């Protein structure tokens, strides 16, 4: 079913609101390049809008009532935000669920070494990446270093104009004949994704032992101590992520697109956040949950497979007057969810990978994927037709542009989201999100129109689904 390009329908007022949403979105992208940073952005914004930590309600024994705004954080890497509705929790919630982790390269726990008078950090890539895309581009270092005394240092090197940046080197084309004969997944090996960080030796008068053979590494250690209060042993309790350096930008001579790192899935996460913050009153409790680890299977304490969300719901049910396991189950089973995750945009440069009639297109609005998975729908959540009808009604009521899509040709590949995990509770779930070009590349591209329609669609879902 064909859909009109939504740009053609916008009024001047629509375009003004679209530009504001895009501006706020780019600010969030730049401030949230890691899952920890995304949680900080979220908490800062919700607290400004009057949201309070769930722990405050629990410690005070304060009951939850309609209109209350609460949030809960898990290990600074996942966050759940709630706007309490007029109906009891056990009648279900309207949930927007997205992930805030993105493909990247992580620093190992024993990373610092010197080789032939270069100093490097040893790395391990995270999530599905084309490794060759990460070489010979400016990179930044983000994360935390936890010291033995309990101090946590926040690291962000490479984003300010006067900061140094880092790089993973590539072989010059003049000597790359054999390299270029390799398959794309072998051109750059995982163990060669080490980060080049220094090449200057520590001066002798600065305390270098005459027998010192690793003067470059010694200089790095001194710089880390002097400027960042980091000892070499502190890497053992650090979480440092290597991400593309630089801010998100308008893309295209018409400024119709956004290019930036981590739009999978922060384009859905931040538009979901914008939507819940703009909701004034709701019948069913509105929820926005932003989680970690989706790119590696939603595992661990901060992934969707954990009990974090379920435990938060149990606390909230108790604060509404009943510590009932049954009411927790009812709350989850009666809920409705948009698993807000990106979709692959149709790319004419790679048309052979797509089935055009079932593809997502730029400028056609919010994308709904009835199912994801791969090939024979393996690993898919397949949404019910009745639920799809409810979604269609809500989108049409609020004049949201939307489209339907699958992830490429049936036998070409596929992917999954957190949808199937939440569906295990018996709730209705469907995948929805924004079409992305160059997904999982260091720099991804979205349409401003689709970002805007996602925000509108998520807001419509929170208020119109009964």
Q: Over the range 74-103, which residues count as b (16 or more CB within 10 Å of their CB) and which as e?
A: bebbbbbbbbbbebbbbbbbbbbbbbbbbb
Residues 115 and 209 occupy one common structural domain: yes
pLDDT value for 117:
94
Q: Which of 212, 244, 276 is the last residue of a domain?
A: 244
Residues 167 and 60 in one domain: no
Contact 261, 245 (CB under 8 A): no
Distance CA 446, CA 23 (A): 13
* Same structural domain, 306 and 207: no
Q: Exposed/middle/buried for 452, CB within 10 Å: 0-12, 13-18, 19+?
A: buried
| Domain assignment of residue 1, yes or no | no
Q: Is the overall model pTM greater than 0.85, yes or no?
A: yes
* CATH classification of the domain holding 325: 3.40.630.10
Pairing assessment for the beta strands 69-74 and 402-404 based on DSSP bridges: unpaired
Residue 206's alpha-carbon distances to 119, 210, 411, in angstroms, are: 18, 11, 61
Q: What is the pLDDT of residue 413?
A: 63
128 shares a domain with 69? no
Greatest C-alpha distance within the chain: 77
Tokens standing for residue 281: 């009153």
Are the C-beta atoms of 262 and 441 separated by less than 8 Å?
no
Parallel, antiparallel, or unpaired for β 428-433 and 336-340? parallel
In a domain, 427, yes or no: yes
Q: How far apart are CA 177 and CA 434, in angstroms?
A: 39
Residue 389 lies in a domain: yes
Half-sphere exposure of 44 (CA within 13 A, CB side): 10
- How many domains does the structure of the chain reveal? 2
Dihedrals phi, psi of 336, to nearest 5 degrees = -120, 145
Q: Considering the domain boundaries, does residue 250 fall inside one?
A: no
> Does 231 lie in the same domain as 113?
yes
Tens-binned pLDDT, residue by residue, of the chain (466 aa): 557 899 999 999 999 999 999 999 999 999 999 999 999 999 999 999 999 999 999 999 999 999 999 999 999 999 999 999 999 999 999 999 999 999 999 999 999 999 999 999 999 999 999 999 999 999 999 999 999 999 999 999 999 999 999 999 999 999 999 999 999 999 999 999 999 999 999 986 555 555 567 999 999 999 999 989 999 999 999 999 999 999 999 999 999 999 999 999 899 999 999 999 999 989 999 999 999 999 999 999 999 999 999 999 999 999 998 888 999 999 999 999 999 999 999 999 999 988 888 899 999 999 998 877 666 666 778 888 999 999 999 999 999 999 998 876 666 666 667 888 999 999 999 999 999 999 999 999 999 999 999 999 999 999 999 8
The residue segments making up the domain with residue 91 are: 6-102+261-464
pLDDT at 380: 72
Give the CA angle between residues 261, 26, 294 to the nearest 5°.
45
336 and 445, same domain (yes or no): yes
In a domain, 254, yes or no: no
407: three-class secondary structure by DSSP:
coil
Instruction: Judge contact between 142 and 154, C-beta under 8 A.
Output: no
- Are 355 and 417 found together in one domain? yes
Examine the fold and report which residue of 177, 210, 244 is the final residue of a domain before the chain moves on: 244
On whether the CB atoms of residues 454 and 268 are closer than 8 A, the answer is yes
262 and 243 Cβ atoms separated by less than 8 Å? yes
Do 224 and 108 fall within a single domain? yes
Cβ atoms of residues 407 and 370 within 8 Å: no
The pLDDT of residue 423 is 92
251 domain residue, yes or no: no
| Beta strands 414-415; 343-344: pairing state | unpaired
In a shared domain, residues 313 and 391: yes
Same domain, residue pair 50 and 181: no
- Nearest alpha-carbon partner for 239 in 128, 150, 114, 155: 155
Asked if residue 256 is part of any domain, the answer here is no
Q: Are 125 and 97 in a shared domain?
A: no
List the alpha helices (DSSP H) in 320-435. Answer: 325-333, 385-397, 419-423
Torsional sign, CA 51, 54, 55, 59 = positive
Q: What is the pLDDT of residue 322?
A: 82
- In the chain, % helix, strand, coil (3-state, to 5) comes to 35, 25, 40
Could you tell me which of 374, 347, 262 has the C-alpha nearest to residue 31?
262
Beta strands in 148-194 (DSSP E): 152-157
Question: Of 244, 269, 297, which residue constitutes the final position of a domain?
Answer: 244
Residue 48 lies inside a defined structural domain of this protein: yes
Are 295 and 157 members of one domain?
Answer: no
Q: Return the CATH number at 136.
A: 2.30.250.10
- Rounded Cα distance between 12 and 433, Å, is 25
Q: Where are the beta strands (DSSP E) in 311-451?
A: 336-340, 343-344, 366-369, 373-374, 402-404, 414-415, 428-433, 435-436, 444-447
């Amino acid at each position: 079913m064909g859909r009109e390009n939504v740009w053609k329908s916008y009024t001047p007022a629509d375009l003004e609101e679209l530009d504001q949403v895009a501006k706020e979105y780019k600010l969030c992208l730049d401030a949230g390049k890691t899952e920890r940073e995304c949680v900080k952005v979220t908490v800062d914004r919700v607290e400004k809008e009057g949201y309070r930590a769930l722990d405050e309600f629990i410690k005070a024994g304060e009951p939850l009532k309609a209109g209350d705004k609460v949030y809960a954080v898990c290990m600074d890497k996942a966050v759940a935000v709630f706007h309490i509705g007029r109906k009891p929790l056990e009648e279900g919630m309207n949930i927007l669920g997205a992930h805030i982790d993105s493909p990247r390269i992580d620093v190992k726990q024993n990373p610092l070494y010197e080789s032939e008078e270069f100093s490097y950090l040893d790395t391990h890539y995270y999530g599905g990446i084309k490794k060759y895309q990460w070489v010979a581009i400016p990179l930044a270092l983000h994360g935390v270093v936890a010291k033995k005394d309990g101090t946590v240092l926040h690291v962000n090197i490479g984003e300010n104009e006067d900061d140094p940046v880092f790089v993973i080197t590539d072989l010059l084309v003049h000597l790359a004949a054999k390299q270029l004969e390799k398959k794309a997944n072998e051109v750059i090996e995982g163990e060669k994704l080490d980060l080049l960080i220094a090449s200057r030796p520590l001066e002798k008068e600065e305390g270098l032992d005459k027998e010192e053979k690793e003067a470059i590494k010694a200089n790095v250690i001194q710089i880390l101590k002097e400027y960042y209060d980091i000892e070499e042993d502190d890497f053992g309790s650090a979480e440092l992520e290597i991400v593309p350096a630089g801010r998100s930008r308008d893309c295209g001579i018409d400024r119709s697109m956004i290019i930036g790192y981590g739009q999978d899935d922060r384009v859905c996460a931040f538009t979901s956040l914008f939507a819940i913050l703009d909701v004034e009153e709701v019948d069913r409790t509105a929820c926005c949950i932003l989680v970690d680890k989706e790119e590696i299977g939603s595992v661990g304490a901060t992934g969707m497979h954990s009990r974090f969300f379920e435990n938060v719901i149990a606390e909230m049910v108790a604060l509404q007057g009943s510590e009932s396991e049954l009411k927790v189950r009812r709350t989850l089973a009666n809920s409705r969810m948009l698993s807000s995750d990106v979709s692959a945009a149709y790319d004419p440069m790679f048309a052979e990978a797509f089935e055009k009639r079932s593809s997502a297109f730029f400028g056609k609005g919010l994308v709904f994927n009835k199912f994801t998975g791969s090939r024979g729908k393996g690993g898919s959540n397949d949404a019910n037709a009745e639920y799809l009808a409810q979604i269609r009604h809500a989108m049409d009521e609020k004049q949201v542009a939307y489209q339907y899509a699958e992830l490429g040709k049936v036998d070409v590949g596929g992917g999954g989201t957190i949808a199937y995990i939440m569906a295990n509770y018996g709730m209705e779930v469907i995948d929805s999100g924004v079409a992305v070009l160059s997904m999982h590349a260091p720099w991804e591209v979205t349409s401003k129109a689709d970002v805007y329609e996602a925000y509108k669609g998520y807001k419509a879902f929170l208020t119109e689904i009964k």
